[in-house]
Structures are given as structure tokens and as C-alpha cells.
């Protein structure tokens, strides 16, 4: 976040202007002028300040502590809007002016605990409004707000310390001190007690002393007026939502769950987008691949036909034709050899010869001789009888039925 | 617990959720199942795989062309021993004529013939086929049958093969001095294309 912020401090009847330029979380502050008797000064007295201000400049009028009355109340910041009546009643009953005559500012105490409280700060309208009127009269400012001095405490960076005490030797109201614990402003305007300050220091806490132009009987980091003005400018950034000003909009309250929720949403969106993107990528790639396949379709059909024809021809040639031709041997010599197994006075009823075996039946003087001759032949092997031998008395011959395997038979 | 701690806890939870989501994504559990037909990824993988197959097929075209040339050459070498006809039936008829001529030229009666069904090689689209013929003939003695077989087996263009022989008689033939023979004769056929060119 960056911008220009004019802090207008009131000292008596005078206005002291500090210009704070913020860039990120680092402010650059500079006192750019002061106006004596500011409410009645001519515009020319404001010129040095007016030259540094434009319509984008936020002007914060810092209401002096001595103009204010304050009281703590157990009201949580989220209930501020609902508690207007209670706040008004509290102002009416405890402040030296009525709620209708006052501007009220609210500051969060114990912000980082489960039960934050509220510091109610009131200031008389009659004192603040002339200043609020003087600002647009003399400066071409943008937004204008009025905050109590205590708002500047929230911009000093004490949120980073376990414990911090800020000593304010304000001569107008007497020395007081403001305390931070574990990053939260826990008290404002306690009476100054050097022992308590030393206790904080002894426990490793931080001690700061506001520069007020008076001697302070305690050591600590000095916070110059300019630095405190810078703190006032940084308050909306350092403690957003912690202050409701007298006049002007409350800074946007921090939403601590916003970042985690955003991260969660981003993570889910990332995962969904990732799945979607992957799906889109695959869809696009699918279209490209499909178009490439379509372009190849004719070639694929041609090659497929060519391949199938070639494979079919090869299978036929190698699987059937070649083995068939290889087995083509003349059958006549083998047939002759089978018939030679018959003795001269024997004869055959039937002879069957194929590529594997011969089967023969007939009559012979001695059936076993047929079997012996077949077995002795080079053309046959494993000769065997296939039927019992019987005798034909009328011819004095024996019947035979034999079978033998061809020796050159193909498997 | 302070708001700050709650916020840190929630952010830690978010980080852990992110880690879990990344882990689940790395394991592929966020992407649809590969088997899901509607998945763009699975469809792409199927299509890409098919494209690779197509490319491999097209790239292999020279190899298939080479195989086709080799088979053509082998088929061409068969032309000297095969019957070249447009259809198996025409080849069968020509083979029958040759066998009948061989038998009758030897003075025997005209034989009875019938085609024999063969196996896969006779599928219609095969360019090279083996056909077979059953031949039933009658002679007065085995020597006449031997002559027929000898003549058939010594044909060269086209070449015929006598695959089996079955002789009956004359021992107990019903008709004296008669030998019945059944031959199975085979031949190779080259089918020509319809335009008449040898395939």
C-alpha cells in the first residue's frame, strides 16, 4: 500500500504538519510546516502545507490527549455498531460532556486475545469541529479524519514485541504510560510508574519514550514527534480496524481468515483448473492425432491389403504348396515293391497305397512270408498283421491282411 | 487461542491440503481412470497408440512389398509345373481331360472321375491352389494300371501327382481277370486374373 498522509498535530492554537509517504510498510515522514494560530491564520500561512497536499492526500487531525476523556469498556470491536447506545450512555454518565456534544473514537485493546475490549475516547465537538472546518478551507485535501493521539501508538511497531511500554511525559496531562503485551495494546494512559517500566525492561521488554520536550527520568528509545506522526499514519496499516476515528471512516478491519480462505480457494481452483486444462490438452491432442490418422487412412488401407495378400500367399506357399510338392514322389516303384512281397503262387484281394502306408490283403501259401518280405523291403517298415491268419483248404493257402509304413513317408 | 494462532493453524491446514492434493494428483488419482471410455486422456492414448500402429504399418510398406515380390517370384517358378486357369473348376476340368486322355490312349476304358475336396488351400481367393481328382478305372491286369500311373507321374507340364492307389482283384474279383483301381491325382493350380494375365 502506498500513499501520502498529512498528519496535523495541534499544539495549543498552532498546527504542525507532518507529511508521511508510505510505500509498502515503510513510511518516510517529514515536517513540512506549522501554522501559528491556525484557526485564524490567513490561507497564505497554510500555503507551505497546501503545496504538499492534493486531492489524494489523506489528512489526519490528531486530537490532543488533553482534549479527550477516555474509559475502557468490555465491548468487542465486532459489536461496536450494535453498542452505539451503550457507548452513548457511558459517555453521558462518565464524561464531562454529553454524547450529543462529543465526538467519540474507539480503540481496540487486547486485540489478539479471545476477549478484546474497547477504549472509548471522547472529545468535545466544539473543540474539534473548528479544526475540521479549517482543513478544507485551507487545504485541497482528500479524505479528512480526526483521531485521538493514542491512535499513533498502534503505528509504532510495538506489535512485534512480547512486551512494550511507551512512556508519554505529556506535560499537559502528566506523565503516563501505554502498554503492549504480545502484540496487543492492553492499556492507554496508565499513570507513569518507573518500577513497572523497569520490570518490563528487565523481562526483555521494549521501552519507548515519546518526545514531548520535557525531561523524563527513565531511559528508552526516543520516539520523535515526526516518528509519532508517522506512527499515526501507519496505524491503519499496522492495526487495521483497531481504531474508529472521531471523524472519518474506520480503516478496513483485518480479515485474518481472508488469506487462508483465498489460498484454499486458489488451491481448489488450481486443482480444478489443472484437471480441466489437462482434459483440454488431451482433447486438443486427440483431435490432432485423429486428423493425422485420417490423413494416413488411405495409405494404411493400401498397405494393409498389400500385407494381407503377401502374408496369405506366403502362408499358402510355405504352409501347403511347398510341403505338398516336396512330398510328391513317384508312387509306382513303391507299389511294385509292395506287390513283390507276394510270392509267385499267392495273390492279392486288395492293395491300398498312399503317402504313408500300404495295406494289403490276399492269399499266400504262407501268410507270414508276406509279412517277412514287406518288412525286409527298403520301401516299408513296421509291417504287421491286421487280421488273424486263416486257411483256405480248397486252395491250401493262408489268408493274410497286413499293413506297413512307408519308409520315406512324410510326417 | 488468539486470532493469530487460529490464522496460522488454518494456513497450515491449507498448506497440508495443498500437499495432499499435489500428492494425490501425482499418484494420478485426480485424473480419470484409464479405462473410462469418456476420459479424454484414455481416448487420446487409444488414438495415439492407433496412430503409432498405423505409422509403423506404413513405414513397413517396403518390407511387405518385398515379401509380395518374393511370393510373386515363387509363384512364377510354379508356372512350369502348375495348371494355369482362371478358376479352380476350369483347372479341374482340364486336369480331368488330361487324365482321361492318358487312360484311353493306353487302350483302357474311359475312367470315372470326381473332384476331391481339399483343405484351406482351395479357398477362393488363394492364387495358388492344390486340386485333386479321384479316378476310378478298370483294367485286365495290374500292369495296365501301372502304365497309367507311370504316364500320369511322368507328365511334366503341368505336373500331376498320384497321391494314392487302391487296387482290387484280380484274386477274388467278381468278374474274372478284372482289376479295379482308384487313383487320387493331385495338381497345382495357378489362378489367373479375370483379364487373362497370370497372377
DSSP three-state, residue B172: coil
- The pLDDT, as a whole number, for residue B11 is 78
pLDDT of B196 over the 50 cut:
no
When pLDDT is cut at 50, 70 and 90, the band that residue B199 belongs to is very low
- The pLDDT, as a whole number, for residue A17 is 94
User: Greatest CA span in chain A, whole angstroms?
Assistant: 170
Q: So what's the ipTM on this one?
A: 0.70
- d(C-alpha A345, C-alpha A340), whole Å: 12
Closest CA to A59 of A125, A136, A129: A136
Model-wide pTM > 0.80: no
Closest CA to A88 of A67, A66, A73: A73
User: Which residues, given as ranges, of chain A have pLDDT below 50?
Assistant: 410-411
- The pLDDT, as a whole number, for residue A300 is 92
For residue A320, give the nearest of B54, B130, B146 by CB distance: B130
Q: Does A265 touch chain B (CB under 8 A)?
A: no
- The pLDDT, as a whole number, for residue A411 is 39
d(CA B196, nearest CA chain A) in Å: 20
- The pLDDT, as a whole number, for residue B176 is 60
Tell how far CA A370 is from the center of its chain: 98
SS3 for chain A, per residue? CEEEEEEEEEECCEEEEEEEEEECCEEEEEEEEEECCHHHCCHHHHHHHHCCCCCCCEEEEEECHHHEEEEEECCCHHHCHHHHHHHHHHHHHHCCCCHHHEEEEEEEECCCCCCCEEEEEEEEHHHHHHHHHHHHHHCCCCCEEEEEHHHHHHHCCHHHCCEEEEEECCCCCCCEEEEEECCEEEEEEEECCHHHHHHHHHCCCEEEEECCCCCCCCCCEEECHHHHHHHHHHHHHHCCCCEECCECCCCCCCCCCHHHHHHHHHHHHHHHHHHHHHHHHHHHHHHHHHHHHHHHHHHHHHHHHHHHHHHHHHHHHHHHHHHHHHCCCCCHHHHHHHHHCCCCCCEEEEEEECCCEEEEEEEECCHHHHHHHHHHCCCEEEEEECCCCEEECCCCEEEEEEEEEECCCCC
**DSSP line for B3-55:** HHHHHHHHHHHHHHHHHHHHHHHHTT-SSPPTT-TT-HHHHHHHHHHHHHHHH
d(CA A154, nearest CA chain B) in Å: 17
When pLDDT is cut at 50, 70 and 90, the band that residue B127 belongs to is confident
Yes or no: say if A165 and A177 are a contact pair by the CB < 8 Å rule: yes
- d(C-alpha B25, C-alpha B27), whole Å: 5
Residue with more model confidence, B86 or B1: B86
- Output the average pLDDT for chain B: 81
The verdict on a CB contact (< 8 Å) between A331 and B163 is yes
pLDDT of B75 over the 50 cut:
yes
**DSSP line for B111-151:** PEEEEE---GGG-TT-SEEEEEEEEEEEESSHHHHHHHHHH
- d(C-alpha A314, C-alpha A306), whole Å: 12
Q: Does A112 touch chain B (CB under 8 A)?
A: yes
d(CA B189, nearest CA chain A) in Å: 10
d(CA A405, nearest CA chain B) in Å: 14
- The pLDDT, as a whole number, for residue B171 is 60
Residue with more model confidence, B150 or A172: B150
Let me know the angle formed at the C-alpha of A353 by A374 and B174, rounded to the nearest 5 degrees. Answer: 100
The verdict on a CB contact (< 8 Å) between B25 and A271 is yes
Q: Which of 90-149 (B) contact A at CB < 8 A?
A: 119-121, 125-128, 130, 142, 146, 149
- d(C-alpha A142, C-alpha A174), whole Å: 35
User: Which of A287-296, B58-67, B126-135, B158-167 comes out lowest in average pLDDT?
Assistant: B126-135
Residue with more model confidence, B165 or A346: B165
Which pairing describes strands A26-35 and A206-210: parallel, antiparallel, or unpaired? Answer: unpaired
The residue written with cell numbers 510328391 in the block is A328
Paired with A361 in beta bridges are A350, A401
Which own/partner pairs from A300-306 qualify as long-range (CB within 8 Å, at least 24 positions apart)?
A300/B54, A300/B57, A300/B58, A303/B57, A303/B58, A303/B60, A303/B61, A303/B64, A304/B57, A306/B61, A306/B64, A306/B65, A306/B68
Amino acid at each position: 500500500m502506498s500513499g501520502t498522509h498529512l498528519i496535523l498535530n495541534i499544539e495549543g492554537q498552532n498546527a504542525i504538519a507532518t507529511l508521511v509517504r508510505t510505500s509498502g510498510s515503510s513510511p518516510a515522514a517529514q515536517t513540512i510546516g506549522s501554522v501559528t494560530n491556525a484557526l485564524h491564520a490567513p490561507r497564505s500561512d497554510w500555503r507551505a502545507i497546501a503545496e504538499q497536499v492534493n486531492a489524494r492526500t489523506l489528512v489526519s487531525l490528531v486530537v490532543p490527549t488533553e482534549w479527550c476523556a477516555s474509559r475502557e469498556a468490555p465491548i468487542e470491536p465486532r459489536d461496536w455498531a450494535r453498542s452505539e447506545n451503550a457507548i452513548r450512555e457511558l459517555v453521558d454518565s462518565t464524561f464531562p460532556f454529553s454524547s450529543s456534544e462529543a465526538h467519540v473514537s474507539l480503540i481496540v485493546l487486547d486485540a489478539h486475545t479471545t476477549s478484546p475490549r474497547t477504549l472509548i475516547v471522547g472529545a468535545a465537538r466544539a473543540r474539534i469541529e473548528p479544526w475540521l472546518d479549517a482543513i478544507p478551507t485551507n487545504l485541497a485535501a482528500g479524505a479528512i479524519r480526526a483521531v485521538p493521539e493514542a491512535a499513533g501508538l498502534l503505528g509504532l511497531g510495538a506489535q512485534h514485541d512480547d512486551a512494550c511500554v511507551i512512556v508519554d511525559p505529556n506535560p499537559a496531562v502528566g506523565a503516563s504510560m501505554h502498554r503492549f503485551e504480545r502484540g496487543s495494546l492492553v492499556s492507554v494512559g496508565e499513570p507513569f510508574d518507573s518500577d513497572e517500566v523497569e520490570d518490563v525492561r528487565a523481562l526483555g521488554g521494549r521501552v519507548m519514550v515519546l518526545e514531548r520536550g520535557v525531561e523524563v527520568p527513565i531511559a528508552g528509545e526516543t520516539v520523535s514527534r515526526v516518528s509519532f506522526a508517522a506512527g499515526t499514519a501507519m496505524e491503519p496499516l499496522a492495526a487495521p480496524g483497531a481504531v474508529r476515528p472521531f471523524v472519518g471512516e474506520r480503516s478496513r478491519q483485518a480479515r485474518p481468515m481472508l488469506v487462508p480462505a483465498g489460498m484454499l480457494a486458489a488451491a481448489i481452483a488450481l486443482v480444478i483448473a489443472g484437471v480441466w486444462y489437462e482434459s483440454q490438452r488431451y482433447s486438443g491432442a486427440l483431435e490432432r492425432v485423429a486428423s493425422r490418422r485420417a490423413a494416413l487412412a488411405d495409405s494404411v488401407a493400401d498397405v494393409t491389403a498389400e500385407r494381407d495378400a503377401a502374408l496369405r500367399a506366403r502362408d499358402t506357399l510355405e504352409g501347403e504348396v511347398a510341403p505338398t510338392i516336396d512330398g510328391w514322389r513317384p508312387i509306382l516303384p513303391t507299389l511294385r515293391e509292395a506287390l513283390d512281397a507276394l510270392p509267385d503262387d499267392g495273390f492279392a484281394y486288395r492293395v491300398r497305397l498312399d503317402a504313408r502306408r500300404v495295406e494289403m490283403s490276399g492269399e499266400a501259401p504262407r501268410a507270414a512270408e508276406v509279412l517277412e518280405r514287406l518288412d525286409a523291403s527298403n520301401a516299408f517298415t513296421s509291417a504287421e498283421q491286421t487280421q488273424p491268419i486263416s486257411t483256405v483248404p480248397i486252395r491250401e493257402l493262408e489268408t493274410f491282411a497286413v499293413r506297413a509304413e512307408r519308409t520315406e513317408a512324410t510326417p | 487461542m488468539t486470532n493469530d494462532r487460529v490464522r496460522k493453524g488454518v494456513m497450515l491446514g491449507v498448506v497440508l491440503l495443498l500437499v495432499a492434493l499435489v500428492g494425490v494428483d501425482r499418484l494420478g488419482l485426480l485424473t480419470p481412470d484409464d479405462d473410462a471410455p469418456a476420459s479424454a486422456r484414455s481416448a487420446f492414448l487409444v488414438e495415439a497408440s492407433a496412430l503409432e500402429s498405423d505409422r509403423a504399418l506404413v513405414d513397413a510398406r517396403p518390407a511387405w512389398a518385398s515379401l509380395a515380390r518374393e511370393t510373386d517370384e515363387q509363384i512364377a517358378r510354379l508356372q512350369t509345373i502348375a495348371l494355369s486357369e482362371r478358376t479352380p473348376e476350369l483347372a479341374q476340368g482340364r486336369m480331368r481331360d488330361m487324365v482321361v486322355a492318358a487312360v484311353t490312349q493306353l487302350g483302357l476304358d474311359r475312367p470315372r472321375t470326381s473332384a476331391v475336396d481339399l483343405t484351406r488351400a482351395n479357398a477362393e481367393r488363394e492364387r495358388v491352389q492344390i486340386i485333386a481328382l479321384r479316378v476310378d478305372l478298370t483294367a485286365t491286369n495290374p500292369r495296365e494300371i501301372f502304365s497309367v500311373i507311370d504316364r500320369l507321374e511322368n507328365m511334366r507340364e503341368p505336373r500331376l501327382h498320384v497321391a494314392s492307389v487302391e487296387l482290387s482283384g484280380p484274386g477274388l474279383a467278381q468278374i474274372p481277370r478284372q482289376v479295379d483301381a482308384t487313383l487320387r491325382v493331385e495338381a497345382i493350380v495357378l489362378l489367373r486374373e479375370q483379364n487373362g494375365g497370370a497372377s
